[in-house]
Structure 1
């Protein structure tokens, strides 16, 4: 008689009965491969004739008996070693296959409804006592489905005593063996058990819904919810959280937002925005901490690592709630969501982005805001976010918005820039008879100044403002922070326009750039090209409320003009020199390098190689520093692991305006101590730069690349080398490398100047005569030479490394972290050059070497004095 026809198979678990079972069903099943797969998702088992012809038609009572039998086989006979392990026996594999087959029944609604109370308790108990019980069974088996299916039977009554015991025991087992990587399913099971056992009546007929577990946000939100003024308010938020627990996928369906709308309306739009803003600020204040857990499974012990931020189930709930903010269209909330997005995409070791799911939810919400602040935040984030997936998501939604508005992405970005009410760089806020002036000081920098009724300045915030105008003061501080973020983003956006060769009609340029409260700060300090088919091209800067050229001649743009940024690569040496003199003589500090921008002209060697440039090859870079900088500059770059250090890799940037993309090739460098804990190489060596067509990947001859595009790409690569080269690190010689690499470090210390360094040299020649060290400092070849009281010092203009005369001794001075940029107190005709700051700070220090007290430096400058001491 076939085993399937026996009615008492559950009563005996001897080997004969198991062998009979194997002969009929188990041997017909495909073996379980690849570990503990979600058994109820094995579609191959559903398709087996044994299931379709026999088991599918069984009555529920027989299925229940079969389920209990198979789980109990696991309880009594399954070896602790998982079935796919090489040391497992045929019997182990057979029993595991039997369990995988029977587990399907847990998910059948009819089985859950027809099982009697005693059978429900037995099923729950058998699962918990199975020898293959581990926390991951909660996700591998449809336990949550079974619990959800039996929940309706307890709508009007409590479970039996045995079922209550079984449910509590199952909950205890789950809690004792939390697995961070599977918290969603574990918390779902606990939530269902709680619902089954609960018989409370809730205010407003709404069950309390809190965030799960005890992470920082769960504890904060529980306190926040309990502190609401009325049961009605709490019930509204509970309804919202309950809806958010159903959130699935990367973005909501229309039905989800339809269900959310009446809940948000009931809460009240302003109250909802205030609440979400408070939640976001708390999240931004959470400092993730790396947690390591020892996990014991199936006879093995291994470690799980995660950042103690917000547990995955609560991330999912927050994702659903953030979606609902798309219904609000609030400027202040857009700013908060922008900051949260940036935090979520911040990269952490070993896990990458902190929470891409939550970041994507914020991006979706911002894309649905009808106020321009939403688009402004997306435009800012498209520059700030480094991760490729995040950038792709942002660009997708920006593209949708641009298409809906019938504009280009650049035009969208122009319209979205807030002017913050600035007039001549200032915006005023009134607090009774006092006023505060928000003043724009430069990209990423602003300040607040307070004035008394008589017009005199007050250094601190008036006490009555803190007490009586707390909300307005809060908004003022928020405006300052937004201004700093926006201005820094606009600086970076304008800097990238050099390689895109963007043009404006004069009428649009005048309104959006020249007259704009914020953008005008940048516009009036940059040099522009005015082109017109009827007259010759004019190049000028807005100075003294009029447009003038490098010779000081005034001109007026025409309505028919097109406007674009001037680039020194397409100008003569004389023209570039004239503009540099103009900036220095009139003390105009450009927000980005323009007149002093490095220019890279195609060399004869590059014309000979044709398809690639080796100009930046054979440098050794600190990989993490290089990759981070490349991403900041808009390149797509990945870290090279120790497992493939001999392989080549490349960073890539798209240039869609020109139908091109550029690649910068590198390869890993092996050193004694050059691998991080996560297996990433510390150093890479540089190789060629090449250009390709976007659509076909065909390599393009360098001679066919537009001069401005070639110059800008080579400038980026030179920047990567100039910043990330190990030659900039005076202590790198002790890192344990091959002699060849060590030779590179020594040659870089005092080698030829790069284009960036040549520009720095040009500036120093103009600046030194204007500085107080002009009598003891001069530019000579590759060096800024400084004559001190004790020694004469040669500071390399590129690396800032120092040689001391008369015998060219190396002087090691390590820059202190956090030290202020000396160029902030010295006029420099452009924003930000860390290398220039290093050179000048060392020059000022060594010009007065007799005042130096640092014993480390003194021991090198005056070793004989130190030895006498």
Structure 2
């Protein structure tokens, strides 16, 4: 809300000046400040101007009156702050002792803020300190710099901040304080100062030239060692906390200092100019991911820093940098950064005459593995064994006699500290890359990729890293289904397949049920846990209802999903989506483009609710969405859009063009239909409010009660049916098998206190008597205890169901008071 000083305040001030009554003048201007709530705009410029123009003796008397009034206000109050600020305005050449103590207290309070409202003119307190010949505390300098970055038409504040050159970075962030500590000498100071000038979207030739000069003066190795050590500290907790502002402000303690953020961009660009080094891409990749971590009320910490990291990686000509770009491309969901990554990979692919898919395949490093998923490293007489188990690396140790030892030998810690550190870092790199490659492979079903047999063996089956995933998947060689066993790809009957012309990734669509079941048995017989569902993958065939509707599917309509979780899942699965705001605006549906098929899939959604703060975040984005149809259009068809809070989707047409009709579902290839509907099932299955065990009251106003009940205990979807079939095979192996049975939609567990029914879709629980609801909130890291072999990874709900069953079978041993109170 804008605030304007009433004309009467200005007139009263002039009257008191004419009367020479500085005591009353102090009262008038403080009253005006209180009325204006410190928003020093509008007529305040005139009030401040007439106060500045007072003769020195009158200003001295006014300053004394303000000092007296200052004592009447409580510590930290707005009145005291106004008095000090007004005093600083009028006392530019007056004796400093009048306000020095109070001013320092006020500045000390200011140092704990993120920034201040530029209209409050608090910078005059700092100017008064500088005029008295005293330097400002580094934390105060930081506040002034941050405030100047967001100031509007406040030249005085921007000018002051520009004069504050010490310290070169803002204190409060661990990486910056380490840099200030390390950067002794003019050349290091010049490096940091140059990094701060990185305000453009990418470095210019002039910027690079100056950076090269600085690197030459310091030496590339010294620069790399220092800068990488600083960048590894980015994102750590602040060295001192900032006080939280209003309820509408984000928690700045979890965000980057915006002044220092420019320096981070510059440092990322700068290390990309150094000779390639394996530690550089790793550090830049971590910087990208850290910068995109979300802060409540703010969003990603700092996308500009993330983008600088991507640009830096794209400028490094090394396999490690290319691998990091490819890994990030599978992980990053923030639209602008993802686009930069895509451009960087496409540019590299074009330069090498390869496709985007090929560059991603070739970019995967071996990380020193000498066999598929295995490496040995000698440290004197000790051998370290690095083995990939599933999607995790395991380090083990053998002494000189070849005997396994449980921990890192002391001699290795003492004599090979750097090599040990590098080995542990490589293990973490492998874990990250394995996760990224698993997601990439899971998206290959719709990519229509085929490989020549020899290329497939090299890039997949025999690749030291990707091979650990590829050997747990099923493939088709010239139409013959194969799995990897006993050192070779083999048919169901065990015949080796050592040659072929075309290899594709196996998918259950179009397979005979008997073949699918046979491969499931084969996987179990060979104790192979697939990195994601393949043999057990859900297949979504066209239903009679969808044949009737013709051009759209209502199979996943009328659900209520958490918007931000839906948005993240959509991005991970390659969909584009725009967050719905509770404003008068339109948005397209969630879409997935399928260029290999010439199609665009759409999932129609709309915001739910209209109560700001109850149905939205503080920034106005909807907390929940309602879902509607799934449709398919030609990939080049004009975009559809609808109002954010609902209404009919319309196609945006230009120049009198005719609308493009949706493609009939009967014309959609079965593989495409199945994979798209599987994505949508995933979105609903994970993001539905029906999965929230704390919503038994139906959420805000109880208005979701009916939906929560119908979803949380209703018919099973396709993925839940897969879970049911798997549990029928798993339950007999469990230690609690005699207490468990599967009946319809539920896993029944007989405890001592009650019998419990765990829904196989949501994991929600009912108990005897009378199907009373039992709320158990699963931990974020819920694991399936004591199940032994599982045929695939990644089903968190399966883990939740099994962990709840294990707990409830021994319900007399439960100690959690929140659960006990319900039993």
Same-fold call, TM cutoff 0.5: yes
Which residue of 2 is the match for residue 684 of structure 1? 625
C-alpha displacement of 1:654: 2.5
User: Are 1:747 and 2:691 an aligned pair?
Assistant: no
SS at match of 2:558: coil
C-alpha displacement of 1:766: 2.3
C-alpha displacement of 1:340: 0.5
User: Are 1:417 and 2:417 an aligned pair?
Assistant: no
Which residue of 1 is the match for residue 389 of structure 2? 441
Which residue of 2 is the match for residue 659 of structure 1? 598
C-alpha displacement of 1:544: 1.3
Which residue of 2 is the match for residue 810 of structure 1? 772
C-alpha displacement of 1:834: 1.3
Q: 1:224 to 1:250 in 2, by over 3 A?
A: same
Q: Deviations over 1:47-77 (max 9, x none)?
A: xxxxxxxxxxxxxxxxxxxxxxxxxxxxx9x
User: Are 1:244 and 2:195 an aligned pair?
Assistant: yes
User: Are 1:613 and 2:561 an aligned pair?
Assistant: no
User: Are 1:558 and 2:558 an aligned pair?
Assistant: no
Q: 1:607 to 1:288 in 2, by over 3 A?
A: farther
Distance 2:517 2:248 in 1: 65
Greater mean deviation of Cα atoms: 280-289 or 332-341: 280-289
Which residue of 2 is the match for residue 178 of structure 1? 144
1:667-682 paired onto structure 2 within 5 Å: 667-670=606-609, 673-682=614-623
C-alpha displacement of 1:320: 2.0
Greater mean deviation of Cα atoms: 273-282 or 255-264: 255-264
Distance 1:785 1:565 in 2: 37
Q: Is the 8 A contact 1:503 1:562 kept in 2?
A: yes
1:119-268 paired onto structure 2 within 5 Å: 178=144, 180-183=146-149, 189-190=159-160, 193=163, 210-212=168-170, 215-226=173-184, 234-268=185-219
Distance 1:800 1:177 in 2: 48
Q: 1:347 to 1:850 in 2, by over 3 A?
A: closer
Which residue of 1 is the match for residue 380 of structure 2? 432
Q: Deviations over 1:178-237 (max 9, x none)?
A: 363424988974576478xxxxxxxxxxxx9832566544432111123xxxxxxx3432
Distance 1:289 1:724 in 2: 36
Q: Deviations over 1:530-566 (max 9, x none)?
A: 12xxxxx21111111222223x24142434x211111
Q: Is the 8 A contact 2:698 2:704 kept in 1?
A: no
Distance 2:329 2:266 in 1: 23
Structure 2: runs of 5+ lacking an equivalent? 5-28, 50-88, 94-115, 122-129, 639-659
Which residue of 1 is the match for residue 11 of structure 2? none
Which residue of 2 is the match for residue 598 of structure 1? 538
C-alpha displacement of 1:517: 0.7
C-alpha displacement of 1:731: 2.2
C-alpha displacement of 1:649: 6.2
CA RMSD of aligned residues (A): 4.1
C-alpha displacement of 1:595: 0.5
Which residue of 2 is the match for residue 487 of structure 1? 434
Q: Deviations over 1:660-711 (max 9, x none)?
A: 2222222233388444333333322211112223322343222222221211
C-alpha displacement of 1:478: 0.9
Q: Is the 8 A contact 1:660 1:693 kept in 2?
A: yes
Structure 1: runs of 5+ lacking an equivalent? 1-33, 37-75, 96-124, 140-163, 196-207, 227-233, 296-300, 532-536, 862-869
Which residue of 2 is the match for residue 544 of structure 1? 486
Q: Pick from 249, 252, 261 the counterpart of residue 315 of structure 1.
A: 261
Distance 2:234 2:328 in 1: 18
Q: Is the 8 A contact 2:488 2:498 kept in 1?
A: no
Q: Deviations over 1:580-614 (max 9, x none)?
A: 12222332111111001111111122122222211
Larger Rg: 1
Q: 1:671 to 1:585 in 2, by over 3 A?
A: farther
Q: Pick from 266, 283, 294 the counterpart of residue 234 of structure 2.
A: 283
Question: For this pair of structures, how many residues does the alignment match?
Answer: 699
Q: Deviations over 1:102-151 (max 9, x none)?
A: xxxxxxxxxxxxxxxxxxxxxxx99x99xxxx985999xxxxxxxxxxxx
Q: Deviations over 1:236-271 (max 9, x none)?
A: 323333433443411112232233224323322222
Which residue of 2 is the match for residue 325 of structure 1? 271
User: Are 1:724 and 2:649 an aligned pair?
Assistant: no
Greater mean deviation of Cα atoms: 587-596 or 238-247: 238-247
Distance 2:496 2:251 in 1: 65
Greater mean deviation of Cα atoms: 401-410 or 671-680: 671-680
Distance 2:197 2:803 in 1: 59
Which residue of 2 is the match for residue 47 of structure 1? none
1:791-810 paired onto structure 2 within 5 Å: 791-804=754-767, 808-810=770-772
1:366-377 paired onto structure 2 within 5 Å: 366-377=313-324
Which residue of 2 is the match for residue 338 of structure 1? 285
Q: Choose between structure 1 and 2: higher helix proportion.
A: 1
Which residue of 2 is the match for residue 641 of structure 1? 581
Greater mean deviation of Cα atoms: 479-488 or 812-821: 812-821
SS at match of 1:279: helix
Q: 1:236 to 1:393 in 2, by over 3 A?
A: same
Q: Deviations over 1:65-108 (max 9, x none)?
A: xxxxxxxxxxx9xx9999xx9x979x989x9xxxxxxxxxxxxx
Which residue of 2 is the match for residue 758 of structure 1? 721
Q: Is the 8 A contact 1:749 1:801 kept in 2?
A: yes
Distance 1:193 1:620 in 2: 54
SS at match of 1:178: helix
User: Are 1:693 and 2:641 an aligned pair?
Assistant: no
Distance 1:304 1:522 in 2: 41
Q: 1:824 to 1:426 in 2, by over 3 A?
A: farther
Which residue of 2 is the match for residue 67 of structure 1? none
Which residue of 2 is the match for residue 828 of structure 1? 790
Distance 2:241 2:685 in 1: 33
Q: 1:287 to 1:725 in 2, by over 3 A?
A: farther
Q: 1:599 to 1:178 in 2, by over 3 A?
A: same
Distance 1:215 1:744 in 2: 46
Q: 1:563 to 1:292 in 2, by over 3 A?
A: same
C-alpha displacement of 1:291: 4.9
Which residue of 2 is the match for residue 575 of structure 1? 515
SS at match of 1:285: coil
Q: Deviations over 1:726-746 (max 9, x none)?
A: 222232022544666311111
C-alpha displacement of 1:643: 4.3
User: Are 1:584 and 2:488 an aligned pair?
Assistant: no
Q: 1:406 to 1:510 in 2, by over 3 A?
A: same
Distance 2:238 2:447 in 1: 38
Distance 2:473 2:359 in 1: 22
Q: Is the 8 A contact 2:763 2:801 kept in 1?
A: yes
Q: Is the 8 A contact 1:215 1:309 kept in 2?
A: no
Which residue of 1 is the match for residue 469 of structure 2? 522
Q: Deviations over 1:808-831 (max 9, x none)?
A: 423414044256512574211001
C-alpha displacement of 1:290: 8.4
Q: Is the 8 A contact 2:325 2:341 kept in 1?
A: yes
Q: 1:618 to 1:738 in 2, by over 3 A?
A: farther
